Chain A
């Protein structure tokens, strides 16, 4: 048996929950705490101090060459795990053993300074990421070529567009050459085309036999890179195994993209409101939508008073809050917006397959009581993820579809 690249044993991290979230204290608080300490216990009747276990007895091994995706909700401990493995913060107990040279990319462009030129930032960032200057000098031309910034490399990065900035930052990160790579949401930067390029770069890193541990909310891109999955839930390992199985179990549990939403408390003063929202595929509620099949958006809503005008619709938003498309009942001429009686309604809209590209989308349902007048809205009520179930497992570097949408279009071919 070979030594695992990463061996994590009973790793735990506890945070004390203070009066405020920011961890620092002021002198006044220290002085007041010291002065009031003898009297405080009485009021608390000896209850335990409030604390949060960000990680609790996390144990797993990562074999050499394995590409592991870590999934879990916000606050499940994913970032804490990466921070401990990157030695940014210390565990409370337990230990992690890492065999080999590690590079951790918790963001791109760490240490970039706007006043410095692209060239200077490449050196600075590279050394911060653990490269030697000689190594950077050797790879410098490749880095600049990858970023496509040959002309601007001696310009201060404050004059760069945000796209140029990200390209350069990622280019440096992509040329770090460790045995073990630790990544956090790095893929979720830049426009879609750039993300695709980053994913391809990550894939080639993953294929080159390096060990990769990656955290991402973007299950679609994760499924293109990782082979093994770890699901963290409230600081504990809930499940490990092949990535697809772990992701499916995580999504089925109502992970981050649940494809479902229900209103908590109906608004008291509104004549109409949306009470629930579901994403359905093959008749079942899903958080993961297969790219090649149609799916339904289902809105349930309540009218408390008869309405002379009522139009119910939904906005489909992409990862950065941009509206990918919107649709409403009157899109179908058979549904009239006028004169609707009191009652509960269920509206369904069919979205064709091969429309949305792989990625995570958010749904904002709304009710209008006059043309272009919002009566009710629930911003980004729920999310769902479109996965490229066709490309997965095949050679997707060739088959993946860059782009904001993924239509399959009619082609003709004639010999001319």
Chain B
């Protein structure tokens, strides 16, 4: 009679103080995939339900930035001639598109954990689900904004090259980079409130250190290698190469990819180390 009673016990969950560093809990996140999907869906739904223009905002933001940069930097600062034989608006948009995704993903996931305080103190789930769902929501906006790029490419008669097949891989690496920086930012904001103000500022600076509106060739040669360490530099270059058919910088993309994955590993480890104290300090 004893065996039959213990047989149905299934697995035993043991709760004890964590002793070692833990990496990305992929298996657990997979187990909570429905929650991840629902959180992403909730974020998109709430955002679009509260605004009159709804999903149009995902189009308007990069479009407005493209127009601004085209007028101020392309015309007035004369950058339009520095980008080669590509129309400056489409050149800028192809760079702004991944950058806007990256910046929004980092900003949203940065504040996401802090604003989920009521969840974190009441219910268990892998905490990484929160910043991940913020990145997921930004990815949906990215997909919407991508349609504008397609329209622009038709308008400017941009020829498709085989390099377009690089896009899925580039998106993946951009998601990795955004997740990495976003998780670090979200943990930092919980631990030190100051980062709530630091991060938007840092992202703005970061944009100017990234060849979003100017080509990397414009930077002085002896600084170029530093700029290439920036994972977003190689990625944005890569996106341009994929969409506009300019020759890709394989080394730059390679550096960015390696860096993005290293960052994700470090970011997840840092997040996991802090997450054990989230409920106590949030």
Interface residues of A (CB under 8 A from B): 1-3, 15, 23-28, 30, 64, 83-102, 104, 106-107, 110-111, 113, 115-116, 120, 123-124, 127-129, 132-133
Contact = CB atoms under 8 A, between A and B. Distances in A.
24 contacts: A3-B6, A23-B281, A24-B191, A25-B191, A83-B121, A85-B15, A86-B123, A87-B15, A88-B120, A90-B15, A90-B17, A91-B17, A94-B16, A95-B15, A95-B16, A96-B15, A99-B12, A106-B121, A110-B122, A110-B123, A115-B45, A120-B45, A128-B119, A133-B34
B12 A115 contact: no
B42 interface: yes
B194 A115 contact: no
B280 A89 contact: yes
A88 B121 contact: yes
Nearest to B13: A98
Nearest to A133: B34
A96 B14 contact: yes
A116 B123 contact: no
Given A3-B6, A129-B123, A110 B118 contact: yes
B282 to A, nearest CB: 7
Interface string B255-282: 0000000000000000000001101111
Given A91-B15, A95-B15, A98-B15, A2 B5 contact: yes
> Which residue, of B38, B123, B282, has the highest number of chain A Cβ atoms within 10 A?
B123
Given A88-B121, A110-B118, A132-B34, A24 B190 contact: yes
Contact of A128 (B6, B123, B190): B123
A101 B13 CA distance: 9
A73 to B, nearest CB: 21
Contacts of A93: 17
Nearest to A91: B17
Given A86-B123, A96-B15, A115-B50, 17 more contacts: A2-B5, A3-B5, A23-B280, A24-B193, A27-B195, A83-B121, A90-B276, A91-B17, A96-B14, A97-B13, A98-B14, A110-B118, A115-B46, A115-B49, A116-B42, A128-B119, A128-B125
Interface in B96-144: 118-125
Contacts of B34: 127, 132-133
B71 to A, nearest CB: 37
Contact of B119 (A89, A98, A110): A110
A98 B12 CA distance: 5
A-B pairs, 3 with minimum CB distance: A23-B281, A95-B16, A87-B124
Contacts of B125: 128
B9 A100 contact: yes
Contacts of B14: 95-98
Contacts of A28: 194
A96 B17 CA distance: 10
B123 A106 contact: yes
Contacts of A132: 34
Interface in B164-214: 190-195
A24 B9 CA distance: 40
A88 B17 contact: no
Interface in B1-51: 2, 5-6, 9-18, 34-35, 38, 42, 45-46, 49-50
A15 B280 contact: yes
Interface residues of B, number: 41
Contacts of B45: 115-116, 120
B117 to A, nearest CB: 10
Interface of B: 2, 5-6, 9-18, 34-35, 38, 42, 45-46, 49-50, 118-125, 190-195, 276-277, 279-282
Nearest to A86: B124
A104 B2 contact: no
Given A25-B191, A124-B38, A111 B119 contact: yes
A1 B194 contact: no
A111 B35 CA distance: 11
A242 B2 CA distance: 25
B157 to A, nearest CB: 43
A7 to B, nearest CB: 9
B172 to A, nearest CB: 26
A127 B38 contact: yes
Contacts of B282: 23-24
Contact of A26 (B9, B46, B122, B193): B193
A208 to B, nearest CB: 15
A66 B125 CA distance: 26
B12 A97 contact: yes
A111 B191 contact: no
B42 A124 contact: yes
B281 A24 contact: yes
Contacts of B12: 3, 97-99
Given A116-B42, A127-B38, A92 B118 contact: no
A128 B35 contact: yes
Nearest to B49: A115
A70 B120 CA distance: 23
Contacts of A92: 17
A123 B45 CA distance: 14
Contacts of B17: 90-93
Nearest to A7: B12
Given A87-B124, A96-B15, A106-B122, A3 B9 contact: yes
Contacts of A102: 13
A80 to B, nearest CB: 10
A177 to B, nearest CB: 14
A197 to B, nearest CB: 23
A123 B13 contact: no
